[in-house]
Amino acid sequence: MFRYLTGGESHGPSLSAIIEGLPSGLSLDFDAIDLQLKRRQGGYGRGARQQIETDKVEIITGVRFGRTLGSPVTLLVRNRDFENWLDRMSVRPVDGETAPIVEARPGHADFAGMMKYDTDDLRNILERSSARNTATTVAVGAICRCLLSEFGIKVMSHVVAIGGIENRVSAPVDYREIEVKSELSPVRVADSAVEAAIIAAIDEAGGRGDTLGGVVEVAVTGCPPGLGSHVHWDRKLDSRIAGAIMGIQAIKGVEIGMGFGVAARPGSTVHDEIFHDESTGFSRSSNNAGGLEGGMTNGEPVVVRAAMKPISTLKSPLRSVNMQTLEQVTAHFERSDVCAVPAAGVICEAVVAIVIAEALIEKFGGDSITEMRRNFEGYTVAVEMKSKVSL
C-alpha cells in the first residue's frame, strides 16, 4: 500500500511528510525535487512570502546513498519565516497573551474551522489551511515523479486561463512543445499572444486590492492501459484524480478530457473511435475522454483541468463579522498573492503524479524497483502482443 501524510503550519518551524510504500532501490534526484519546489514558488502575481522562503527538501529517513530502502521516507521543508513568528507560533507555552485574529475571511476555511474546532483565534485555522502547506505535497509529488520516470511516464501542466483570458492551444496537441513554451512564460501560458494581457490583468487586479483565479491543465503521457479499475467507485482512477485535485486549496472544479463539454454534444462527436494497424497497434483520432475510460487509463494521455477560485485573502478586504463581538467588520488581511494560478498548475501536477504512482504500485507492486520493473515489462509485452496480433 502506498500512502502519505503531511504536517506543519504556514509559519511554524517546518513542513513535513511521511511516505510509505515506495519500493526499495528507487533512485531519487534531489535537484529535481528542489526544482519542483522552486517552480511552486514562481509565477507572476505571487506575494512577499516567496521572497522570504527558498524551499529545499531534507530527507531524514528511508533513503541511503540516494536510494530508497523500502521503509518510510520522511522529509522536511523548513520555514525560514518562523524566525519572525517565534512569539506567535511557539510550540511551547509562552508568557503573556497573543492577540487573537477574529475577522473571518469570506471564502477561506476561517469561519467553518472556527466553529468545528471550537477556537477563538482564527490563527489556529489559517496556519494549516494556508496554501503554504502545499510545499510538502509538491515534494511528495516530486519523489513520485522519480518513480514514474522509471517507467517512461511524464507529467506536465500549463495555464489555460487567468481572469477569464484564455490561452488557446490548437489540435493536435504536442504536450512537449506546450511544456517548453509554458515554462518560459511568467504566467505559464504556451500562447505568447495572451501573456501580456494576462500580466496586465494581474497588475490591474493587484492595483485595486483584488485577486484573480483561473484554469490549469495537467497532462500525463506514457501511461499504459489498465491503471485503475472499473470495479468500485473508489478504485476508479478518474475518481481518485478528481478527489486529489479537489483537495488542493482554492480548487473548485475538475474536468477530465472534454469535461462538461460532453453534455452539449451527441455521442457520435464525443467518443474516441478506435483504430488498428498491424504495424503500430491501436490508436485514436481524438482524446475527448482524457485518457480515461471506465475508471482506467486507455493508453492515451491523461488530461485533467482544474478551476482555481481567486485567493480569498484580499488587500481590499470584504465585509465580515468579528467572531467575538459579532460586530460588522472587514475581513482579516495577511500578506497574500494576487494570483497563484501558475503555481496551482505545479501543485496539480504533484497530486496527479501521486495518484498515478499509487495506481502504478498497485498494479505492478513489488518490494524493490527491480521486481516492479519486471512486472511492468511483462505486462507491457502482453499488451503489445494483443495490440499487434489478430486473435
Share of the chain above pLDDT 90, in %: 83
User: 10 pLDDT band (50/70/90 cuts)?
Assistant: very high
Is the pLDDT assigned to residue 155 strictly greater than 80? yes
Give the mean model confidence (pLDDT) for residues 365-386. Answer: 93
pLDDT of 49 reads 59
d(CA 108, CA 131): 11
Give the mean model confidence (pLDDT) for residues 133-154. Answer: 97
Lookup result for grid cell 527491480:
370
| Measured distance between the N- and C-terminal CA atoms of the chain, rounded to whole angstroms | 36
d(CA 71, CA 299): 31
Give the mean model confidence (pLDDT) for residues 150-173. Answer: 91
pLDDT of 98 reads 87
b/e map 89-112, b = 16+ CB within 10 Å? beeeeeeeeeeebbbbbebbbbbe
pLDDT of 334 reads 82
**What's the chain look like in SS3?**
CCEEEEEECCCCCEEEEEEECCCECCECCHHHHHHHHHHHHCCCCCCCHHHHCCCCCEEEECEECCEECCCCEEEEEECHHHHHHCCCCCCCCCCCCCCCCCECCCCCCHHHHHHHHCCCCCHHHHHHHCHHHHHHHHHHHHHHHHHHHCCCCEEEEEEEEECCEECCCCCCCCHHHHHHHHHCCCCCCCCHHHHHHHHHHHHHHHHCCCCCCEEEEEEEECCCCCCECCCCHHHCHHHHHHHHHHCCCCEEEEEECCHHHHHHCCHHHCCCCEEEECCCEEEECCCCCCCEECCEECCCCEEEEEEECCCCCCCCCCEEEECCCCCEEECCCCCCCCCCHHHHHHHHHHHHHHHHHHHHHHHHCCCEHHHHHHHHHHHHHHHHHHHHCCC
Instruction: Assess whether the previous peptide bond of 23 is cis (omega < 30° from 0).
Output: no
Is the pLDDT assigned to residue 390 strictly greater than 60? no
Whole-angstrom CA distances from 249 to 143, 312, 335, 354 are 21, 10, 17, 17
Under CATH, what is the fold of the domain 3-89+99-388?
Chorismate synthase, AroC fold (3.60.150)
Residue 245 phi, psi dihedral angles, 5° rounding: -70, -40
Residue 68 phi, psi dihedral angles, 5° rounding: -70, 150
- Reported as a single tens digit per residue, the pLDDT across 51-69 is 666 899 999 999 999 999 9
Q: Is 128 exposed, middle or buried (0-12, 13-18, 19+ CB in 10 A)?
A: middle
Amino acid at 385: M
pLDDT of 83 reads 87
pLDDT of 51 reads 62
Domain boundaries, the chain: 3-89+99-388
Mean residue pLDDT across the chain: 93
Is the pLDDT assigned to residue 356 strictly greater than 70? yes
d(CA 44, CA 216): 15
Query: In this predicted model, which residue has the larger pLDDT, 280 or 218?
Result: 218
Is the pLDDT assigned to residue 391 strictly greater than 50? no
C-alpha torsion 248→147→228→152, nearest 10: 110
Give the mean model confidence (pLDDT) for residues 267-289. Answer: 91
Amino acid at 370: T
Cα atoms found within 13 Å of the Cα of residue 215, Cβ hemisphere only:
15
Q: Which of 165-169, 259-263, 363-367 has the lowest mean pLDDT?
A: 165-169
pLDDT of 46 reads 77
Give the mean model confidence (pLDDT) for residues 123-152. Answer: 96
User: 277 pLDDT band (50/70/90 cuts)?
Assistant: confident
pLDDT of 388 reads 72
pLDDT of 48 reads 62
pLDDT of 374 reads 97
User: 164 pLDDT band (50/70/90 cuts)?
Assistant: very high
Query: In this predicted model, which residue has the larger pLDDT, 33 or 47?
Result: 33
Q: Which residue from 114, 150, 148 is spatially nearest to 129, judged by alpha carbons?
A: 114
Is the pLDDT assigned to residue 281 strictly greater than 80? yes
